[in-house]
Amino acid sequence: MHGEVLEKIQLSLGRFLVNEFLWVEKYRPRYIKDCVLPVHLKSTFADIVNGGELPNMLLTGTPGTGKTTIARALCNELELDYLQINGSEESGIDTLRTKIKQFASSVSLQGGYKVVILDEADYLNPQSTQPALRAFIEEFSANCRFIFTCNFKNRIIEPLHSRCTVIEFNISKKDMPPLLAAMMDRCEIILNKEGITYEKRVLAELLMKHQPDWRRVQNELRRYSVSGVIDSGILVQLSDLAINDLMVLLKQKDFRGVRQWVTDNVDSDPSVLFRKLYDNMLDYVDKGSIPQLVLILADYQYKNAFVADHELNMVACLTEIMSQVKFQ
Both 134 and 55 in a single domain? yes
Tell me the CATH number at 191: 1.10.8.60
| 55 belongs to a structural domain | yes
Please give the sequence-ordered ranges of beta strands (E in DSSP) within the chain, or none if there are none: 57-60, 82-86, 114-119, 144-150, 165-168, 197-198, 229-230
pLDDT of residue 239: 52
Spatial CB neighbours of 175, under 8 Å, sequence gap ≥ 6: 38, 39
| 9 belongs to a structural domain | no
The DSSP call for residue 315 is H
229 forms beta bridges with 197
With CA atoms as reference, report the closest residue to 270 among 321, 311, 323. Answer: 311
Pick from 151, 168, 185: which residue ends a domain?
Answer: 168
| 13 belongs to a structural domain | no
Q: What is the pLDDT of residues 85-107, one digit of tens each?
A: 998 887 778 878 888 888 988 77
pLDDT of residue 9: 41
Both 63 and 115 in a single domain? yes
Between 74-83, 181-190, 238-247, the lowest mean confidence (pLDDT) is in 238-247
| 279 belongs to a structural domain | yes
Spatial CB neighbours of 324, under 8 Å, sequence gap ≥ 6: 289, 292, 296
pLDDT of residue 206: 86
pLDDT band at residue 31 under the 50/70/90 scheme: very high
What is the number of other CB atoms lying within 10 angstroms of the CB of residue 207?
Answer: 20
Both 73 and 139 in a single domain? yes
Both 203 and 285 in a single domain? no
pLDDT of residue 48: 96
pLDDT of residue 3: 45
pLDDT of residue 164: 96
Taking phi over 0 as left and psi of -120 to 50 as alpha, with beta for the rest, 31 belongs to: beta
pLDDT band at residue 21 under the 50/70/90 scheme: low
Q: What is the pLDDT of residues 116-152, one digit of tens each?
A: 999 999 988 888 889 999 998 999 888 899 999 998 8
| 277 belongs to a structural domain | yes
Both 76 and 160 in a single domain? yes
pLDDT of residue 178: 94
Q: Which helix (H) or strand (E) holds 164?
A: none
Pick from 133, 168, 203: which residue ends a domain?
Answer: 168
pLDDT of residue 269: 60
Both 158 and 182 in a single domain? no
Domain, as residue range, for 268: 250-324
Contact in structure between 90 and 99 (CB atoms under 8 Å): yes
Amino acid, single-letter form, for residue 79: E
Alpha carbons 172 and 161: distance in angstroms, whole number: 24
Q: Tell me the pTM.
A: 0.70
Contact in structure between 175 and 34 (CB atoms under 8 Å): no
Number of structural domains (the chain) is 3
Both 159 and 55 in a single domain? yes
| 57 belongs to a structural domain | yes
Both 162 and 182 in a single domain? no
| 25 belongs to a structural domain | no
Share of the chain above pLDDT 70, in %: 88
Instruction: Measure Cα distances from 204 to 45, 134, 166, 196 in Å.
Output: 28, 43, 32, 16
Tell me the CATH number at 120: 3.40.50.300
What is the number of other CB atoms lying within 10 angstroms of the CB of residue 7?
Answer: 10
Contact in structure between 73 and 30 (CB atoms under 8 Å): yes
Say yes or no to pLDDT of 17 above 60: no
| 10 belongs to a structural domain | no
What is the number of other CB atoms lying within 10 angstroms of the CB of residue 318?
Answer: 23
